[in-house]
Every structure is written in structure tokens, then in C-alpha cells.
A and B are shown apart, each in its own frame.
Chain A
């Protein structure tokens, strides 16, 4: 697959707000096909908002977002998803009231096509035998880690063009986190551009080819992962100083 070819995802001076509360101030970065970007920063820096703006859940108030070179700014979330961008939101990203199989069908039928549905379901179950066992259980009865596996199965079977994973490893057992990162490596090999929002800085930096550090909704650092560690430490220490939170 192509590494370092065309940008799969580009953000250009993106601002966003929740009602009157502004959350992002001119965020810019880009990810190449088959590359991985780690999005780091303290709580409340705007990491999840970046993920939401990219997938269209929160509208950008200014700036441009391009997926695979075409402008998706202002498009509804479903139209952006159809351009091949997949956003796994923070926390629960699956439908509680539906069964495991229904969750997979909902996602795979559109992306793999109706004809390949059965084959791709089989692939998902082969990759995660646990899900095959539970295929008719309601997802709400699964544990948090198992629910995360359902989310992963959806993107692994048909790798998207861009995968935005928001804290996918949060609260998982270390062995499951290993699974998650193995899955990331897999989809990346198939040409997916990865944006990984992460609290576990070392884990993310080990995977990524680029790092972006956010602070108070702005980009504090863009560059190779090696330089990010220092910035993250700096940002965190600045944050812990009293009275620094409302400097902006």
C-alpha cells in the first residue's frame, strides 16, 4: 500500500463551539494514507471535539476539512461517513438495544455491500471468536471491553479510508489494549489513515508517525512523535499551576 502519498484527512484552521462555548481555535493538521497520527493533550483540550468535527457530529464554525482531497465541511455526519471516514466515539460506540450481529450487519451491509455481508460477518467472527459466541446477545449485556471488540470488528473487516478512534483503549485491561493496538497496526497496513485520540501517551506515540498536542483548543505542537513527549509534559505541568486554566 501507499505510504506517505496523498493526505487522507486535512484540517485547515478549524474552529468549533458547543452553543456559546467555544472549544476549538484554528486547528490544522493532516494525515497521509497509511499513516498514523496521535492526538494528545490534557482533559478538556478539545481532542474529542476534533474527532467530532471531523466526523460531522459537531459543525465547524470556520475552517475547512477535507477527506481524500474532497471538501466535507458542513456536510452531515452520514455523508462524511460515506466518504470512507469512520469515527469510533469515546465510550460506547455500539447500539445497546441491538444484538451483536445486528450491530455488525448495520455497519457491514453498507460498507461491504449486501452480497459480501455473510462473508464479512464470518471474517469478523473468525477474528473475534467471542463475538461469534455472543452473536445473538444484546450488546448492552456485554462488558465494556467486549463492546469495544464489536466496534473494532466493524472497522477491521472493511478497513475505512480514515479511522478516527477516540480513546478506544480507555478503561480496558492491558491485554485488551494490546489487542486494540494490534488491530490498529492491521488497518494501517491496509492503507487506512489513523487518527488516535489517546490518554496513554507512550502507547500512542509508539504507533504514530506524527503527533499533535492540543492545549485549550489550539495546536501546541505538530511534528514527529519524538518531540511530542516534552511538549505533553510541559502542557500538563502548565495546566496544574493554579490560575492557568483560564488564561485563554
Chain B
């Protein structure tokens, strides 16, 4: 008993941290209808600024608290509302998820750019002194200030928020606004102000949580807040995103159970090294599979959503015949110029960069296909790419199989995993599906990819030149370029063909309306599994291509953060078209290369740029490149018309 308590009590502050974040997630979801993936990032921002002010600038604690929590917390929430979430049509679940993800990816990358790269040491505690032991539990389990402030704060926050949401009129209005802000407006309530208040409250809570929980970590790193977020997401999912007390309970349980298990399990066992770190994801998967309330999650609730205007047609389909001819000619000219330049005058450094861009483009095609064509959201595309790469690598190293043949088998393996994932989550939609794929990605990150048998440790698996024909690994000559180019063209062509064929029509029908598609005889379950399997194969091909280009298969190249970034990048540039994926791939590497020339602290900015792209995404869900294309097509068409009209001065009447 004594031993159990000794292991369990240190789990309390972690559990409380999870609980506080889980409660924040439920609060935001209940009051704004948004599952705020950026919540952890908000908390991180407040904690970072607090520590920065106190440690680096010697501000008094109270002043730093006011600045970092009371001002910055709600301020961030208001900014998110005003510039992002308010612009998203109420039915566009994908847009809400992607915008939240872009915050999760963007904020931790942005902070060092703004405040410098210093590694911050934990923030000072502001309630109880963290080191002091206040009393002992049982005979010998010390309870120090950290435990006390965590527990006290969690309970206080829970009580205040439950009272706010369940007993006040503002709480009632917030819940109503989350369901349909338009219906609330018809009752004479300024729904925008209500939603803004909800975001401010949620931001304040994130700020307080970040600052109060910071002392439990030694240094303040974005990674900690992401781990925390995952456990919190699992706890919130267990509560079906509905009940804050249940979410808090599961949060504390996850913390206590994992630390207790950590105490009892032998450190050398498989359970300790692989299963324990994956514990929150396992809980998340379990919740997604067995909590019935999650199945309807993220479905549109707004009965007045038909007030929003419909999405415009893609530019390629809306343009007239003459513009079409010009664009097509231009495209072929550009393609020819690209191939010719790569083979002749392109400096090797840039050839490498563009090669990498083509490999990324193939991976991005899988996002285009899955999200753009089938309307499904997967946050595990980098994982699928990794599965294929490691499969090919292990086949080559153990069986001496040619890496290119291994790549085909690897793509099949990735396709199989994706299909199984889709099969397991058949009952989930929108947000539930996104969370399921995220859990799978994290599972692979923590438990599979770092394993000795898979990647040979964190250093990764180095490719050997004897596995590959044609000297593909060396950067001399153009073998790799030709391979990547051919693969990209074949993959893009295959996606286009599938999009235009029967399967593409079925998938488009499913994207438009699952109910309608099922009504005309589309087997939704099969189509979903098929879409995931095809997309997994594409991601796998791209992953092996990327591995050859990198010459080493490192787990870090295929982690969940990249999966998130992939989705954000592709969706913000334009997910509806095959060109969109290629533009995104080339755009990402070119941007990263250009940032090499920028000052040191700007290095991580590439993701930030795309996260900022999400700003435009909220207002233009068809993607920024697609939007610009439509604008320029319109301009070109008007210019053509003017040209045509100019030689005939007889036309004077204005329409």
C-alpha cells in the first residue's frame, strides 16, 4: 500500500495537468464548437512568455502573470476567434480541424522566432513553494507544493467552469452559440460577442494552466505541451467531449496509472519501453472505438448552414476555352523548361532541393486524394510513408531485396495498414476519424519506429548503394531526378484517372453527402477502406522516394508532426487538384531552402508560413493557390474580352 501510494502520488501533478487541459478542450468544444488542437500551444505561449519575463527580464511575478496570463491568454483566444474560427462556415468540420492543427504546428515554431532561441528553465511557482514538503500521506509519502497547487487548481478550475457553463445565462448562450450562432442571433443575442467571450475564457484558462503547470517540467519545451495535449485529448475523448468532470477524472487517472505502472514495471521490459509511452494513445483509441458519443462528433449541427454560399468551382473547370488553351500551352512549356533545366544548368544544391520537393509531392498527392477527393481526413500520412520506407529498408538489409522492389512491397504494406486503420474506424466521422489517425501516428512514433528491429534506433537505417541500381544514392548525375520525375508523373496520372473514373465519382458522392451516396447504392464502408488503401500506397511510394533522396531512413522524418504539417500545407495551398499537391511539395522545399539564407532564428519559419496560410484558408477553404488561380483566370478573361472589343469602336453602350 505504502509503495503503491509512493508511485501514485507523483502521478498526481501530471494527472492534474492532463485534467486541466482536458477540461479546457471540453470547455472550448462546448462553447465554440471547435476542437481546439491549439489549446496546448496557447498554454505553451503563456508559460513561455511568463518564464521569459521573470527569468530573462527580472519582472516581478505578479506583473509577469498579468502580462502573460491575464492579457496574453484571452488576447490569443480573441485573435483566434477574430481572424480564424469566425470566418469558417459552421458546417466545414475539416476547416476547423485543419485550422486548429495549424495553430498546434505554428505557435511553438513561432515563439523562438519572436523571443529568441533561449532554452528556458522552468517558471517559478506562484501558489505553493514547489520544493517544500507540506505534509506526509500515510507514513512516508511526501506531498510537496507542486502536488498541492496542481490538485487545488484543478478542482477550483473545474468548479468555476461547471458553474459558469451550467448555471449562468452566459453559459447557456455559449452552449447555444456552439450549436448554431445564427439561431442564437435570431433570438436577439449578439452571437459573435458570446463566441468571442467563450474564446477569451478558454484562452484565460489555457494561460493559467500553462503558467501553473510549468513548474512540473524542468525546462519549457513545446514537445512537453504536445505530449500533454495527447493525454488530454484522450481524457476529453473518454468524456465524449461533453462532461468536464468526467474529462478531469480520466485525466487524473491517466497520469496516476502511467506513473504507477512506471514504478512497478521493470525498466528493461517491452512493456516499459514500448507500451508505457503509448499508454495515452491506447486510451484514446479505446475511447474512439467504444465511447458511443464520439461517433457523431464533428457533424454539422447548424440547421441554418444553408445560408452560407456554396463553394466555387475549381479554376480549371470554370475557365473559358481560350484561357484553357493558353494555360495548357504554358503548362507544357513550363514542364519542358523544368526538365531541361534540371538536366542541364541547375546547380546541384537546387537540384537536390527540387528532387526532395518531388518526393514530397508524391506524399502530398496522398493527402490530395484522401482529403480532396474522398473528403476524409488522415493525420497519419507521414507514418504511412515511414512504414513503406522501413519495410523496404528491412527487406533490403535482411533479404538483400532490391530497394525499388522493396518499395513496391513497402507501399503495399502502407496501403494495408491504411486500409486496416480505415476499417477499424468505420464508425467514426470527421473529428473522430482525425483523432483516430492521429493516435495511430503517435503509436507508431513512440512504439514502433524507434524500435531496434525497425529503424535500428533513433539514428535511422542508412541505405547502402548495393541495394539500388543506377547509382541512385549519389548526387552526381541525374538518375534520381529521372526516377522521381517518372514516379511523380505516374502517380499524378493515376490519381487523375482514378478521380475521373467510377471510383472517383463514388468518392466525390461520398464527400458531398454520405447519406445521399448510400442512397444511390454506394458502399460507403468499402469506398472508405479503398480510399485509405490507395492513399496509403501513394504515401508509401512517396516515403520510399524520400528515403532514397535522404539516403537514410530516420524515424524523425516520418513523425506525427510532419503528418500534421503535411495536411496543413496541402489543404492551405489547395486540396482539390493534383497540381495543388505538386505546388505544395515544391513550395515547401523552396521555402525551406530560401530560409537557409535568412538569420538563424528564422530557420523554423517554413511551417509558420504555412500556418499563416491557414489564415486565408479559414476564409477560402478551396485553398490559397486555387483562389489566386481563379482570380487571375477572371482577370485574364476580362483582359481578353477587352482586347477583342478594342478594334471595334462602334460598341459604345455600357452594359
Q: Do these two chains really belong together in a complex?
A: yes
A-to-B contact residues, CB < 8 Å:
17-21, 52, 55-58, 76-79, 81-82, 86-87, 89, 91-98, 102, 105-107, 109-111
Inter-subunit contact B175/A98 (CB<8 Å): yes
Which residues in window 154-189 of B have CB below 8 A to A?
A: 169, 172-173, 175-176, 178-180, 182-189
Partner of B307, one of A52, A76, A97: A52
**Contact: A82 with B188, CB < 8 Å?**
yes
Closest 8 CB pairs of A and B: A19-B309, A81-B188, A77-B185, A18-B309, A92-B303, A78-B185, A82-B188, A78-B190
List of A residues within 8 angstroms of B310 by Cβ:
18-19, 21
A160 to B235, CA, bound (A): 45
Tell me, rounded to whole Å, the shortest Cβ–Cβ distance linking A117 to chain B: 10
Write the residues of chain B forming the contact surface with A, with a CB cutoff of 8 angstroms. 169, 172-173, 175-176, 178-180, 182-192, 301, 303-304, 307-310, 312
Partner of B179, one of A21, A76, A95, A110: A95
* List of A residues within 8 angstroms of B303 by Cβ: 89, 91-93
Q: Is the CB of A105 within 8 A of B172?
A: yes
Check A21/B309 contact, CB under 8 A, given A57-B304, A77-B185, A92-B303.
yes
Instruction: Provide the residues of chain B in CB contact with A89, threshold 8 Å.
Output: 183, 186, 303-304
B189 A57 Cβ-Cβ under 8 A: no
**How far, in angstroms, from A79 to B176 measured CA to CA in the complex?**
18
25 CB-based A-B contacts, threshold 8 Å: A18-B308, A20-B309, A21-B310, A52-B307, A55-B186, A57-B182, A57-B307, A77-B186, A78-B186, A78-B187, A81-B185, A81-B186, A81-B187, A86-B186, A87-B186, A93-B183, A93-B303, A94-B183, A98-B172, A98-B175, A98-B179, A102-B172, A106-B172, A106-B184, A106-B189
Bound CA span A89–B184, Å:
12
Chain A residues with Cβ below 8 Å from B175 are 95, 97-98
Q: A109 touching B183 by the CB < 8 A rule?
A: no
When distances are taken between beta carbons in the complex, the residues of chain B under 8 Å from A102 are 172, 176
Report the nearest B residue to A76, measured CB to CB. Answer: B185
Query: Nearest Cβ distance between residue A190 and chain B, in whole angstroms?
Result: 19
Contact assessment for B173 and A106 in the assembled complex, using a CB-CB cutoff below 8 Å? yes
A98 touching B188 in the complex, CB below 8 Å, given contacts A18-B310, A19-B309, A52-B307: no
Once A81-B185, A89-B186, A106-B173 are accepted as A-B contacts, the answer to whether A58 and B312 lie under 8 Å apart by CB is no
Instruction: Give the distance in Å from the alpha carbon of A105 to the alpha carbon of B173 in the complex.
Output: 10
A57 partner residues in chain B, CB cutoff 8 A: 182, 185-186, 304, 307
- A87 CA to B185 CA in the complex, in Å? 10
Task: Tell me the smallest distance from the CB of B353 to a CB of chain A, in Å.
Answer: 39
Beta-carbon contact of B183 and A78 below 8 Å: no
Asked if B182 and A77 sit within 8 Å, CB to CB, the answer is: yes
**B176 x A78 contact (CB < 8 A):** no
Q: Contact at B188–A78, with CB atoms within 8 Å?
A: yes
* Interfacial chain A residues near B301, Cβ < 8 Å: 96-97
CA distance A21 to B189 in the complex (A): 29
Residues of B within 8 A of A91 (CB): 303
Complex Cα–Cα for A58 and B304 (A): 11
Residues of A within 8 A of B187 (CB): 78, 81, 106-107, 110
Across the interface, do B176 and A95 meet the contact criterion of CB distance under 8 Å?
A: yes
- Give the chain A neighbours of B312 by CB distance below 8 A: 19-20
Q: Beyond A78-B187, A81-B188, A97-B301: 6 further Cβ-contacts under 8 Å?
A: A21-B310, A57-B304, A78-B184, A79-B190, A95-B179, A110-B187
Out of B176, B192, B309, name the residue touching A106 (CB < 8 Å).
B176
Instruction: Report the minimal beta-carbon distance from A151 to chain B, rounded to whole angstroms.
Output: 10
Chain B residues with CB under 8 Å of A110's CB are 187-189
Q: Quick check: B172 and A97 within 8 Å, CB to CB?
A: no
CB distance from B58 to the nearest CB of A (A): 47
Given A18-B310, A58-B307, residue A76 in contact with residue B190 (CB < 8 A): yes
B176 touches A98 (CB 8 A): yes
Shortest Cβ distance from A58 into B: residue: B307
Question: Which residue on A lies nearest to B30, using beta carbons?
Answer: A97
Pick from A19, A58, A79, A89 the residue with the most CB of B within 10 Å.
A89
Which residues of the other chain, B, contact A52 by a CB distance below 8 angstroms? 307
**Residues of chain A with a CB closer than 8 A to B180's CB:** 95
User: Which one of A19, A97, A105, A111 lies within 8 Å of B188 (CB-CB)?
Assistant: A111
- Taken together as a complex, chains A and B put the C-alpha atoms of A79 and B189 apart, in Å, by 8
Cβ–Cβ < 8 Å partners of B176 in chain A? 95, 98, 102, 106
- Residues of A with C-beta under 8 A to B189: 78, 106, 110
A7 to chain B, nearest CB (A): 21
Which residues of the other chain, A, contact B169 by a CB distance below 8 angstroms? 105, 109
Closest to A105 in B: B172
Bound form: Cα–Cα A98–B184 in Å: 12
Question: Nearest B residue to A17 by beta-carbon distance?
Answer: B309
Q: How far is A89 from B189 in the complex, measured between Cα atoms in Å? A: 16
* Separation of A56 and B452 alpha carbons in the complex (Å): 63
Name, among B179, B182, B183, B184, the residue most crowded by chain A CB atoms within 10 Å (CB to CB).
B183
> Shortest CB–CB separation between residue B446 and chain A, in angstroms?
35
In the bound complex, how far is the Cα of B184 from the Cα of A93, in angstroms? 10
CA distance A234 to B509 in the complex (A): 36
CB nearest to A18 among chain B residues: B309
In whole angstroms, how far apart are the Cα atoms of A21 and B175 in the complex? 32
Chain B residues, Cβ within 8 Å of A55? 186
CA distance A102 to B172 in the complex (A): 7
Q: Report the bound CA distance from A70 to B633 in whole Å.
A: 43
Known contacts: A57-B182, A95-B183, A98-B172. The answer to whether A78 contacts B309 by CB under 8 A is no
The answer for the CA separation of A93 and B187 in the assembled complex, in Å, is: 10
Bound complex: CA of A98 vs CA of B301, how far in Å? 12
B356 to chain A, nearest CB (A): 39
In the assembled complex, how far is the CB of residue A140 from the closest CB belonging to chain B, in whole angstroms? 9
Name the residue of chain B whose CB is nearest to the CB of A107. B187
Q: Which residues of B have CB within 8 Å of A58?
A: 307
User: Closest residue to B242 on the A side, CB-wise?
Assistant: A97
- State the CA gap A89–B186 with chains docked (Å): 9
CB distance from B92 to the nearest CB of A (A): 14
Q: Looking across the interface, which residue of chain B has its beta carbon closest to that of A154?
A: B187
- What residues on A are CB-neighbors of B173 within 8 Å? 106
